[in-house]
Amino acid sequence: MTLALLGNPNSGKTTLFNAMTGMRQHVGNFPGVTVERVQGPLRLSKGADVLVDLPGTYSLTAFSREEAVCGEFLREKPPDAIVNVVDATCPARGLYLTLQLLETGLPVVVAMNLMDEVRAAGGRVDCRALSRALDVPVLPVCAARNEGVEALARAALAAAREGRAPRLPDLGTAQGEARILARYACIDRLCARAVAEGTSAARRRTAAADAVLTHRIWAFPIFLGVMGLVFFLTFGPLGGLLSQGFRRALEGAGALLETALARMGAADWLRAMMVEGVWAGVGCVLSFLPTILTLFFLLSLLEDSGYMARMAFVADRALRRLGLSGRSLAPALLGFGCSVPAILATRTLPSRRDRQLTILLIPFLSCSAKLPIYAMFARAFFPGHAARVMLLLYALGVLLAVPAALLLRGAAFPGEAQPFVLELPAYRMPTLRAAWRLMRVRAAAFVRCALTTLLLASVALWALQRVDWALRPVPDAADSALAAIGRAVAPLFAPLGFGDWRAATALLSGLLAKEGVLAALSVLLAAPTEAALSAALPHVFTPLAAVSFLVFTLLYTPCMAAFAAARRELGGLRWALGGAAFQTAVAWLAACLTHCLGAILGVS
Q: CA-CA distance, 3 to 44, in Å (whole number)?
A: 13
Annotated binding site for GTP: 7-14, 32-36, 53-56, 113-116
Instruction: Name 387's Cβ contacts closer than 8 Å, sequence gap at least 6.
Output: 228, 231, 232, 234, 235, 236
Cβ atoms 95, 190 nearer than 8 A:
yes
Name the nearest CA neighbour of 353 among 386, 328, 374, 329.
Answer: 328
Strands lying side by side in the sheet with 81-87: 38-41, 50-53, 2-7, 81-87, 108-113, 138-140
Q: CA-CA distance, 276 to 172, in Å (whole number)?
A: 77
Annotated binding site for Mg(2+): 18-19, 21-22
CB atoms under 10 Å from CB of 537, counted, come to: 20
Cβ atoms 550, 587 nearer than 8 A:
no
Name the nearest CA neighbour of 519 among 389, 373, 393.
Answer: 373
Residue 335 has phi, psi (to 5 degrees) of -65, -25
Annotated binding site: 7-14, 18-19, 21-22, 32-36, 53-56, 113-116
Cβ atoms 72, 86 nearer than 8 A:
no
Name the nearest CA neighbour of 153 among 111, 102, 117.
Answer: 111
Burial profile 159-181: b = 16 or more Cβ within 10 angstroms, e = fewer: bbeeeeebeebebeeeeeeeeee
Cβ atoms 416, 319 nearer than 8 A:
no
Please give the DSSP secondary-structure letter assigned to residue 467: B
Q: CA neighbours within 13 Å on the CB side: how many for 191?
A: 17
3-state secondary structure 130-155: HHHHHCCCEEECEHHHCECHHHHHHH
Q: CA-CA distance, 158 to 39, in Å (whole number)?
A: 20
**Helix 127-134 / helix 91-103 crossing angle, nearest 10 deg:** 30
Q: CA-CA distance, 391 to 224, in Å (whole number)?
A: 10
Cβ atoms 227, 308 nearer than 8 A:
no
